[in-house]
A and B are shown apart, each in its own frame.
Chain A
Amino acid sequence: MKPASFDYHRPDTLDEALTLLNRYGDEAKLLAGGQSLVPAMNFRVAQPAVLIDLNNLRELDFVRDNNGSLSIGAMTRERRLEFDPLIARHLPLLTETMPNVAHPQIRNRGTLGGSLAHADPAAELPVIMLALGARLKARSGAAERWITAPDFFKGLFTTDLAPDEILVEIELPFMGAGTGWSFMEVAPRAGDYALMGVAAVIQLDKEGKCQQARLVYLNAGEGPLEAKAASKSLSGADLDDSAIETAARTASQDEIQPFGNLHASPDFQRHLAHELTIRTLKLALARAGKDRLQ
């Protein structure tokens, strides 16, 4: 199929893009990597009258060290997230996750901002934003506002962004010393959307007890899903097999709400979530312990 006709604009600055978006409002769509929008246009699921191409906005393609956090521009390509040395150093969970996001050919175009604005419940990047406590900056006209990750994701393919807003920047606090982390997923083939996936982030105290834990799941509901009760059950605990088993059971049986799809029933997704929770927590624990000994 071929896309319906549209008028094409390629602004050179964010201000120009915002002016265009303001002018065309609901008629317009922003084009980032196009790896989700263009398939939808090819199928004519999306038929925007106006396309505002953000690919010339070099000002939104950056990874910046704020000394304690990293800021990443919305138009930063997924492929860059995979190899950026600052990200590898301060946000190793993000680096570890990237090869799971589609195929290299897709990551060469797809952007961080595009993936987050698209808000696919099967996507990895929204999960990582929740796991790492990101906040997201949106601009409309001259105004800007910050949105926390849990407030940003509103449900199936839905975010808190207003039609006249552009997501411009994502800020992520460094994963400090003593942090353990892991991301794992099960997908039919490398690069496919996963059937189930889990990010685990834990913080150990000096005695090696878990101070704080966060477990976030993809394909587990209408958006990225934090298993709050399971995460809470781990704080203050020794992360032994029984604590880990309890968290895995709580998350997979009581908290996640998988829909099932062509390749997996909800029961199978729960089974995967259970197993992946155990594995990610064990790896996170090993990594946190190693960090502490250094």
Chain B
Amino acid sequence: MKSTNSISVSVNGQVHEREVESRLLLSDFLRHELGLTGTHVGCEHGVCGACTIQLDGEPVRSCLLFAVQTDGHSITTVEGLAEDRDHLHPIQQAFWEAHGLQCGYCTPGILMTMIPFLEQNPDPSEQEIRKALSGNLCRCTGYQHIVDAVSLAARKMKAINSGS
């Protein structure tokens, strides 16, 4: 192979075929090539979590993947969560209601991390939520409202799943 490659990747359900340079990070591919600027970039070495997306349903750092590696895979970004402007994902609704953000820089990465966490732990304790948040840095909130929002999201998601 060579230093550019053609890839076909599904992002939020839509397939994109592109020619990408090998060194193009997935975070930059999403932001600059696809215009999906909801995926934020903080540190580019895996520490802050702002760039977290889901690769085949699992949360991963998009700054530590090359776009070329996602050929044939499926990605979800924060833009893929809400049905439309008026119908937020329950976790987005919960962050809104519980003031789970201030500047919002960390928020997309936190949402993309917490959704699979809540799917696996529908009824988490505060301690479990704090631990699950440990890979995402927030410089504004002091985390308290984020913990509250995740806890509220858990209740909302549970209610939806049990059909009530």
Contacts and interface: CB of A to CB of B under 8 A. Distances in A.
Nearest to B52: A105
Contacts of A109: 60-61, 64-65
A105 B59 contact: yes
Residue with the highest number of chain B CB atoms closer than 10 Å, among A5, A6, A38, A191: A38
A7 B22 CA distance: 7
B94 interface: no
Contacts of A39: 44-46, 64
A141 interface: no
A9 B45 CA distance: 22
B68 interface: yes
Contacts of A190: 131, 134
Interface in B1-56: 1-3, 5, 21-23, 25, 28, 44-46, 49, 52, 55
Nearest to B64: A38
A263 interface: no
B1 A7 contact: yes
Given A3-B23, A8-B66, A104-B132, 18 more contacts: A7-B2, A10-B69, A34-B64, A34-B66, A38-B64, A39-B45, A42-B45, A51-B22, A102-B135, A103-B135, A104-B135, A105-B52, A105-B59, A105-B60, A105-B135, A106-B135, A108-B60, A192-B134
Interface residues of A, number: 32
Q: Is the interface of A mostly helix, strand, loop or mixed?
A: loop
A1 B42 CA distance: 11
A5 B113 contact: no
15 contacts: A2-B28, A8-B1, A8-B3, A8-B22, A8-B66, A8-B68, A34-B69, A35-B61, A38-B64, A39-B46, A105-B52, A105-B59, A106-B135, A190-B131, A191-B135
* Chain B contact surface mostly: mixed
B63 interface: yes
B58 interface: yes
Interface of A: 1-10, 34-35, 38-39, 41-43, 51, 53, 55, 79, 102-106, 108-109, 189-192
B59 to A, nearest CB: 5
Give the 9 A-B CB pairs with smallest separation, nearest first: A103-B135, A39-B45, A8-B22, A190-B134, A38-B64, A3-B23, A108-B58, A105-B59, A191-B134
Contacts of A35: 46, 61, 64
B117 to A, nearest CB: 8
Given A10-B1, A42-B45, A2 B61 contact: no
Contacts of B65: 34, 38, 109
A6 B132 CA distance: 35
Contacts of A79: 58
B23 A5 contact: yes
Contacts of A41: 23
A38 B62 CA distance: 11
B60 A6 contact: no
Nearest to B71: A10
A34 B135 CA distance: 17
A9 B23 contact: no
Nearest to B120: A104
A6 B64 contact: no
Contact of B113 (A53, A105, A192): A105
B61 A106 contact: yes
